[in-house]
Amino acid sequence: MRALKLTVRLVLSLGVSALLMWLSLRNADLRAVGRAIAAADPWRMAGYAAILVCVHLVRTVRWGILLEPLGHVGFKRLNSASAVGIMMLILLPFRLGEFARPLLIARPPPGGAGATLRRSGAFASIVVERIVDGIAIGLLGIVALRMLGAGASGRYADFARHASVLVALGFLALCIAVLAAFFLRDRALQLTSALLRPFSPRLGQRACSMLDGFISALHLGSGWKALAFFALTAVYWTLNGFGLALLAPAFGFHLAPLMVATILAVQVVGVMVPAGPGMIGTMQFFAQAGLSLFVPDAFTRGSPAAAHAAGYTNALWMLNFGVQVGLGVLFMLLGHVSLRGLLQPSADGGSDPDLAAPASP
């Protein structure tokens, strides 16, 4: 049954990716797309790859700030878990790789060097990170589209406006729920226990213990650390946008900052869609949809702009895939991280006994 479920998920994810790739490429001459990528300025391609490495480092340092209240984590361990975790996020379908980073960082450190983190706390750090990023990218899209006004047009303009609002509201609602659990900790635990205890007392106890560990991790310590986290968030998204702007002229597009902000917002909203391995299809189609707001012929059949737009978005995907997977493979080859037994609890219950305990029948 489990194998059947995995097969169904994989088939569905591949179907989503195939549909989006078809939508992205259906009006473009594939040979012209290949020529556009081959003719792209190699220095801009290399520059974008270098920016992706900087993005990885900023993301890693920012994640470390979220993990500090749980215990000291050395940069080598943090960087390895971040690189391999992001690689798994890219490679696994339906964004199942979201679980890889917290599971990797919560493993007991080799040689006992460094703190052993609770899995629930590590998961909490990812939730906080995703909430902040979701609100940031939603607000970025809203502000950019509002300031552009009629400058953003095309078939996907209304979609981009509505999607930015929905994403911002959705993550804001999640933020409110998390804050409510943080400030009303006892009530949240009581409510969880009351809902689950009638079905299974052990399950209710386990869930409460996990929630308690999760809530305990929802703080950044000092105000300076919180300030550093939000400053790094601004740097993180600025680097992402700068990368899009840097690569665009290699395909004949010159994008103003507000245009870049809009394309980035649409692309990030798009990759949230669960799809096939490699995020193939989602990144290309939604980046091209964002670009089409300013390049009306980006989806026009036979148009040179359509070939260059598809070349641009596929180059974005190839470089992202190559850099992120390359970093993950590098750290695995160096022996810093192993995926063996990642989803299995250790014999002594692992770093988080509440998560390792068997569920009640």
Domain total of the chain: 1
Looking at the domain assignment, is residue 354 inside a domain?
no
Choose between 250 and 338: higher pLDDT: 250
CB 153 within 8 Å of CB 296? yes
pLDDT in tens, 335-359: 777 777 665 554 333 444 444 333 3
Looking at the domain assignment, is residue 241 inside a domain?
yes
CB 250 within 8 Å of CB 45? yes
pLDDT over 90 percentage in the chain: 26
pTM for the full model? 0.82
Choose between 36 and 180: higher pLDDT: 36
Q: Whose CA is closest to 352, among 124, 111, 122, 157?
A: 122
pLDDT at 47: 97
Where is average pLDDT lowest: 23-27, 283-287, 318-322?
A: 23-27
Return the sign of the alpha-carbon dihedral for residues 251, 256, 262, 268: positive
Average pLDDT over all residues of the chain? 80
CA–CA gap between residue 239 and residue 243 (Å, rounded): 6
Residue 90 is which amino acid? I
DSSP 293: T
**Joined tokens for residue 176:** 């409110």
Q: Cα–chain-centroid distance for residue 33?
A: 27
Q: Cα–chain-centroid distance for residue 16?
A: 18
CA–CA gap between residue 161 and residue 276 (Å, rounded): 26
pLDDT at 221: 60
Using the predicted structure, report yes or no on whether residue 13 has a pLDDT greater than 90.
no
pLDDT in tens, 98-108: 888 888 888 87
Looking at the domain assignment, is residue 14 inside a domain?
no
- With bands split at pLDDT 50, 70 and 90, how would you rate the model's confidence at 110? low
pLDDT at 359: 33
Highest mean pLDDT out of 79-93, 124-138, 195-209, 342-356: 79-93
In Å, what is the CA distance from 300 to each residue of 23, 29, 34, 88, 154?
Answer: 11, 11, 17, 35, 11
pLDDT in tens, 149-191: 655 555 555 666 666 677 777 777 877 877 777 777 788 888 8
CA–CA gap between residue 220 and residue 281 (Å, rounded): 36
CA–CA gap between residue 267 and residue 273 (Å, rounded): 10
Looking at the domain assignment, is residue 196 inside a domain?
yes
| Buried b or exposed e, range 278-312, using 16+ CB within 10 angstroms | bbbbbbbbbbbbbbbbbbebbbeeebebbbbbbbb
Highest mean pLDDT out of 18-27, 208-217, 271-280: 18-27
Choose between 257 and 172: higher pLDDT: 257
Looking at the domain assignment, is residue 26 inside a domain?
no
CB 262 within 8 Å of CB 152? yes
pLDDT at 337: 75
CB 59 within 8 Å of CB 75? no
Choose between 334 and 162: higher pLDDT: 334
Q: Which residue has the tokens 């520059």?
A: 47
Q: At what angle do helices 257-271 and 282-292 cross, to 10 degrees?
A: 150
**Joined tokens for residue 327:** 């970093």
Using the predicted structure, report yes or no on whether residue 111 has a pLDDT greater than 70.
no
Give the residue-averaged pLDDT of 215-233.
75
CA–CA gap between residue 220 and residue 70 (Å, rounded): 10
C-alpha torsion angle, residues 243, 135, 94, 100 (rounded to 10): 80
- Cα Rg for the chain, rounded, in angstroms? 22
Phi first, then psi: give them for residue 136, nearest 5 degrees: -60, -45
Alpha helices in the chain (DSSP H): 2-25, 30-38, 42-67, 75-91, 100-105, 119-148, 157-183, 185-196, 201-216, 223-247, 257-271, 282-292, 304-333, 353-356
CA–CA gap between residue 317 and residue 280 (Å, rounded): 8
Where is average pLDDT lowest: 6-15, 141-150, 213-222?
A: 213-222
pLDDT in tens, 38-90: 999 999 999 999 999 999 999 999 999 888 887 888 888 899 999 999 999 88
Choose between 179 and 239: higher pLDDT: 239
CB 134 within 8 Å of CB 163? no
Phi first, then psi: give them for residue 286, nearest 5 degrees: -75, -30
Looking at the domain assignment, is residue 358 inside a domain?
no
Q: Whose CA is closest to 60, among 129, 110, 118?
A: 129
DSSP 108: P
Looking at the domain assignment, is residue 203 inside a domain?
yes
pLDDT at 237: 94
CB 252 within 8 Å of CB 308? yes
168 is in which domain, residue-wise?
Answer: 48-338
Looking at the domain assignment, is residue 23 inside a domain?
no
Count other C-beta atoms under 10 Å from residue 45's C-beta: 17
pLDDT over 70 percentage in the chain: 83
Choose between 121 and 40: higher pLDDT: 40
Residue 169 is which amino acid? L
